[in-house]
Amino acid sequence: MPRKNVARLLRAFDVFRQYIKEDFRLVIAGANKFGLNEVNETLKNMAYKDSVLFVGRKSPDDLKKIVASAFALTYIPVFEGFGIPILEAFYCNVPVITSNVTSMPEVAGDAAILIDPYSVDSIKNGMLELYHNQDLCKGLVQKAQERAKMFTWDKTANNLWQGIEKVPR
């Protein structure tokens, strides 16, 4: 399974759409390195495949516009080194659904819905939870604004400098 977990995301979205009346779209941005055979096979079997839009790789400005206009960011990798898309969503005041594995819980903290990225039901349930609970959405965005302050360039540079100073000379 490719690390970005797009096929499970597609399956979860297809089930999610069965529970709601609105015409939600799933927009997937990024290079086409998603495990295309599995993704294409999954798309073929989807009831709501016409609600999925692959926009490819985008400039940082375009990506920010896409994220800022989203109802939520559903970023559910099975492996990821850091999770910059989570912070991008935090800065855009967009609620986040993310994986409960690797570095995602450390980055997201309590400012996101954490799901099991290996479970289509868990992913779908996270989507439904946000969809049905506006207070939860608002609360996550408020927590995200605070959480994002932990990840500034100044703090990162300061942490790096402190690490360098600890290295024996």
Q: Enumerate residues 6+ apart whose C-beta is below 8 A from 17.
A: 24, 47, 48, 51
User: What's the whole-model pTM score?
Assistant: 0.90
Instruction: Map the chain to HEC letters.
Output: CCCCCHHHHHHHHHHHHHHCCCCCCEEEECCCCCCHHHHHHHHHCCCCHHHEEEEECCCHHHHHHHHHCCCCEEECCCCCCCCHHHHHHHHCCCCEEEECCCCHHHHHCCCCEEECCCCHHHHHHHHHHHHHCHHHHHHHHHHHHHHHHHHCHHHHHHHHHHHHHHCCC
Per-residue model confidence (pLDDT) at position 151? 87
Per-residue model confidence (pLDDT) at position 131? 98
- Tell me the mean pLDDT per 10 residues along the chain, length 169: 87 98 94 78 96 95 97 96 94 98 96 99 99 98 96 78 83
Span 6-152 CATH architecture: 3-Layer(aba) Sandwich (3.40)
Per-residue model confidence (pLDDT) at position 1? 46
